[in-house]
Amino acid sequence: MAAAKKNHINFPYCKRCKKCCCLSSGTDKITLSRHDIERLRNAKLEFKVRKDGSLYRLVMKSGRCPFLKKDGCALPEELRPLDCKTYPVHFIPDGKEDYLTVSLKCPSWNKVSPAFLKDAKELAKREFKHWTKAERIGYWV
C-alpha cells in the first residue's frame, strides 16, 4: 500500500524559539496564496493581508504573527501557510529547475537533513497545485 501523503512535516530540530513567527524589522513576510487565504477564512480565522504583487502577505501584529500564541502557533498544521509548513526550507519552482533554500535565520538551519529537504519539496509541490501560475512565479521573483 502506498504511504499516505503528509500535509505537514515536522522539523525535528526546531528549538521552538519562534524567530520564524516574529519579526524584528516590522515588515510583513509570511506569504499567502489565495488558496491559503481561503483555507484560513473557511476556518473562520481573523487576520489581515496586504497585496504584494501576485501574492499576499500576512499582516503582523506588533511584529508577531497574529496566530502566534503563548504556547506557539495556534493553527492546526494543515492550515499553516506554505512558508511555515516547510520552514526553514523554501522550495522555489521556476518552471525549468527547482531550487531549495534554507533560512540562515533559523538557529537550527544546519540540522536540515536530505530527508527533510525531500519532504519539504514534495509538500510544496502538492501545495503549489492550488496556486495560480502567477502566484508560483511571484513566489520566487
Residues that bind ligand SF4 (CB under 6 A): 11, 14-21, 30, 65, 67-68, 73, 75, 80-81, 84, 87-88, 106-108
**Least distance CB 96 / ligand SF4 (angstroms):** 29
In this complex, which beta carbon is closest to ligand SF4, that of residue 11 or of residue 91? 11
Using CA atoms, how far apart are residues 112 and 105, in angstroms rounded to an integer?
13
> What H or E segment, with its residue span, contains residue 51?
strand 49-52
Q: In this structure, what DSSP letter does residue 96 have?
A: S
**Least distance CB 103 / ligand SF4 (angstroms):** 8
HSE, side-chain direction, 13 A CA sphere, residue 18: 14
**Least distance CB 53 / ligand SF4 (angstroms):** 20
**Least distance CB 40 / ligand SF4 (angstroms):** 9
Report H helices in 43-141.
82-85, 114-128, 133-140
In this complex, which beta carbon is closest to ligand SF4, that of residue 37 or of residue 68? 68
